[in-house]
Amino acid sequence: MTKATAGQEASRRGLAVFDLDSTLLPIDSDHAWNEFMVSIGWVDGAAFRAGNDRFYADYQAGRLDIHAYVAFATAPLAARSEAERDDAHRRFMHEVIEPTIRPEALALVASHRARGDLVAIASATNDFIVRPIAAAFGVEGDAVVTTRLGRDADGRLSGRIDGTPAFREGKVARVGQWLAGRGERLGDFSRVVAYSDSPNDLPLLEMATEPVATNPSAELASVAASRGWRVLDLFGAR
């Protein structure tokens, strides 16, 4: 498909971009993975949990240093083999993530596919954590836009970020790079719908023709009310 053809095809359909944590999932998978590493004994519980909670509070407050966080969170991964990491993630999916995946979230993603929309998941959480979760929603390959973990010349995790982190303005940049790789751009689509719970994703929501504050924090709910954005309580009271 040529770039011109791709753009013409896009103009006949929409684009739906979903944040993951606290948007499609009712939990934060990044924070939950770190708690899981505590539970399986990969890290010192008290010290690591304190750091995890501190970085999570920084994220919620909009002041996260994502480079410092990735260095902190990936140090335990770098100390394990790829096989150990993959085995642990399979347990994490079975024990932690799968019980939280709600039919409402699956149905929302499916509704966009049924309309013929191009669907992506864009998450500031790293690719190791996100990709198997995104696959559970039927989103795979380049349509999973994440913060990529860097590797050294020998292929080992370096504790650094590869390229632009998919965080705040960087998430919009990475979505743009993904589309460009497909020969498309935002303006090619008849509508662009973005879903997020967090004010960290204001740049993502602002790029959309249909921003949806989904399970929003109090701060994002206030912004949505002032701008007339749609608010979606995806999971409701349980």
Catalytic residues: 19, 21
**What are the CB-based long-range contacts (under 8 Å, 24+) for 217-224?**
217/60, 220/196, 223/199
How many other C-beta atoms can be found within 10 angstroms of the C-beta atom of residue 148? 18
Specify the amino acid at residue 41.
G
Tokens in use for 167?
Answer: 């965080």
**H/E element, 214:** strand 210-214
Specify which residues 232 forms β-bridges with: 214
> Which residues, including other chains, have CB under 8 Å from residue 118's CB and lie 6 or more apart?
10, 13, 14, 15, 16, 143, 189
- Name residues whose C-beta falls within 8 Å of residue 102's C-beta, 6 or more positions apart in sequence: 26, 234, 235
Over the range 46-78, which residues count as b (16 or more CB within 10 Å of their CB) and which as e? eebeebbeebbeebbeeebebeebbebbbebbe
Q: Are 193 and 209 in contact (CB under 8 A)?
A: yes
